[in-house]
Structure 1
Amino acid sequence: MSLSQVDIDQRFEFGKELILRAGDLAMTYWKSLETLEVKSKGLQDFVSEADYNTEVLIKSAIKERFPDDAFFGEETGPTGIEGAEGIWVVDPIDGTQPFLMGMTSWCVSIAFVSQSQIEIGLVYSPAGNEFFIAQKGKGATLNGKRIQVRDAQTLNDGIVSVGYSNRTSPAQLIHMMKGLLENGGMYHRNGSGALGICYVASGALIGYIEYHINSWDCLAALLLVSEAGGRVNDFIADNGLHLGGKIIAASPKVFAQLDSFFPTK
C-alpha cells in the first residue's frame, strides 16, 4: 500500500523538526573543531565523528517514529530498502571539507522518497543561517519565504556551480568547464553540492552541473529546484539512488545548454 498524503505530511512536519536538531548537534562539533576526530575515506574525502554521530541521531529518530521506513545515509549506508514504501536519504554533513576548515558552506540534507518520487526536501545550513524547505507540489521556501529560480535567458545572466569529486576524471571536468566558459558562462564552487543546488532554487545561481554526484548529496535540493520553477534531470532513473549519476539543475532556458557540456564518455 502506497503512502497517503496524510502520511507524507506527517513525515514532512517530523523532518523539519529533526533536521534542526541534527543541525544543532553538528554545530556543537563545528564550534570545537580542534578536538574533532577525523579519518580519511580516500583522496580529498574525509569523515569525522560529527558526520557519523549526526547521522546516527537522524537515523535513530526516524526508526523510533517511522519504524517501517527505509534509511539510506552517507555514513551508515542503506537499511530496509527492499519493499519499503518510503526511503529517507540523508547526508548528515554535506561539505565535510569546508566544515573541517571552519568555513560555513556545509549543511544537513534530508530527502524523503516514495514510489521513486522525491516528496520532501530539507536542507539546513546552521552556520549560514539558511533553512531550505520543499514538499512536492507545495513550493519551496528559504527561511520561511517563497523562492523561485532566476529568470535566466542565457549563461550571461548568472553564475553556474560546477561540482567535482574523485569519481570524475580531470578530463571530464575540463570538458564541462570549457563548454561553460566558451559560451559566456562563469563558474562557482563552495564545497557543498546540496547548498549549490539550493542556490539555484533561490535564484542566487542559474545552474548546477556535476558529472557524478551521490543521491544523498542532491535529492533534497533537487526537489527545491523543481518546486521553485527550475528544471532538473531525472536523477533517480538508471538507479541513481544507489549508484549516483550526472546532475543538471537550472533555470529552464539554460538547462539544455548546460546539458550539452557533458562529455559523452
Structure 2
Amino acid sequence: MNDQNPRYSNDLAGRASLCRDVIRSAGELVLAGFKESFRRGFSLKGPQDFLTETDAASEAHIRQAIATHFPGDAFLGEEGGGLIAERMWVVDPVDGTANFARGIPHFCISITYVERGRAEIGAIYNPAQDELYFCRRGAGATLNEKPIGISSTVAFDAASIEMGWSRRVPDEAYLETMRRMLAKGANVRRGASGALALAYVADGRSDAYVELHMNSWDCLAGLLLVAEAGGVVCPFMEIGSLQEGGPVLASTPAIAAGVSEASGIPVSAREMTAALQSA
C-alpha cells in the first residue's frame, strides 16, 4: 500500500484523489507553457499534428506522480507510449495542441484510470478556463465539483454536433458523414480538441460528438464523462482498442440513433433504451 500520502490509498478512492491533484498540477505547468507558446514555437509530428515542449513536460510530470504513488500501475501516454496492463493510466498531456500552439485557449489534459479493461476514473482539465471535469464510474459527472448532465435536445434540427477528423481516415469519409448530419438538419462544428468536445457533450454545450478514429488517450475520459452524465456512447473497447484506437460517438439519447446512422458508428441498443428511460 502507498504510505507516502494518506489521500492516495491503494484503491479507487486513492487513485481518484491523485487524479484530481495531478491533473491540476499538470495544468499549472501547461498554462505556463501556453503563455510562452509563441516564443517557444512548435514542430510537427505529421501533417497538422502539432508538438510542443509542453506536451512532453506535462506527460513526464503525470507519469512521475503516478510512478511515485502507484508504482505497480502501468502508464500509456500519447508522447511516450507505454504498456497495456490490468491497472493502468491513459494520458493525453495536451489535447488540442494546434489550438495551444496558436494561442487559442481551447485545449486540455485528459487522464483516465483503467482497471481490467474498463475506464473507472476520468478527468479532463482546461487550465486556461480553469474547468475541471471529473467522474468515477457509477458516481455521476461533475464540472468544478458541481453535477452536470447532457442536453435536453430531442430533434436534429435543433442539434449542435461536433465532429473531429484526422489524416488517419480519408477525407471523403468525414465529408460524407458531415453531409448526412447536415441533411438531418444538425449544425456541425469543430473545436479541435476531441477530449473537450466530449466533455461539452457531458455538460450539454453540445448534443453529440463524432470522430471516425480517435486514440484511446483522447477519448476514454470523455466517453466515461458522457455516460456518467446520462448520455449514450459507443462501445469503444469492443470496436476499438487501447493500443490502436477506434471510432467514437457520444450523444444525448434522443438523437443517438440518428447520429449512429449518419456516422456508421454503433451504439448499444440496451444503453440507449436505458438512457432514454432515465432522461
TM-score (ref. length: structure 1):
0.94
Identity over the aligned pairs, expressed in percent? 39
Contact 2:10/2:70 (<8 A) preserved: no
Structure 2 residue 43 is matched with structure 1 residue 42: no
Structure 2 residue 223 is matched with structure 1 residue 214: no
* Matching residue's letter, 1:200: V
Superposed CA offset, 1:72-93 (max 9, x none): 00000013x2xx3311000000
Contact 2:38/2:101 (<8 A) preserved: no
Q: Extract unaligned runs of 5+ from structure 1.
A: none
Cα distance, 1:128 vs. partner? 1.8
Structure 2 residue 190 is matched with structure 1 residue 185: no
* Matching residue's letter, 1:225: V
Q: Distance in 2 between matches of 1:175 and 1:213?
A: 18
Further displaced range: 219-228 or 144-153: 144-153
Q: Secondary structure at the match of 1:243?
A: coil
Greater length-normalized contact order (CA 8 Å, ≥ 6 residues apart): 1
Cα distance, 1:262 vs. partner? 2.2
Contact 2:158/2:185 (<8 A) preserved: no
Q: Distance in 2 between matches of 1:220 and 1:206?
A: 17
Cα distance, 1:237 vs. partner? 1.7
Q: Extract unaligned runs of 5+ from structure 2.
A: 1-8, 266-279
Q: Secondary structure at the match of 1:119?
A: strand
Q: Distance in 2 between matches of 1:158 and 1:186?
A: 6
Superposed CA offset, 1:146-194 (max 9, x none): 0000122121232000011111211001110010000111112111000
| Pairs within 5 Å for 1:23-42 | 23-42=27-46
In structure 1, the residue matched to 2:153 is: 152
Superposed CA offset, 1:91-131 (max 9, x none): 00000000001001100000011112110010000102211
In structure 2, the residue matched to 1:14 is: 18
In structure 1, the residue matched to 2:74 is: 70
Q: Distance in 1 between matches of 2:141 and 2:10?
A: 19
Further displaced range: 198-207 or 232-241: 232-241
Contact 2:214/2:247 (<8 A) preserved: yes
Q: Secondary structure at the match of 1:261?
A: helix
Cα distance, 1:39 vs. partner? 2.0
Q: Distance in 2 between matches of 1:168 and 1:44?
A: 14
Q: CA RMSD in A?
A: 1.4
Cα distance, 1:263 vs. partner? 5.3
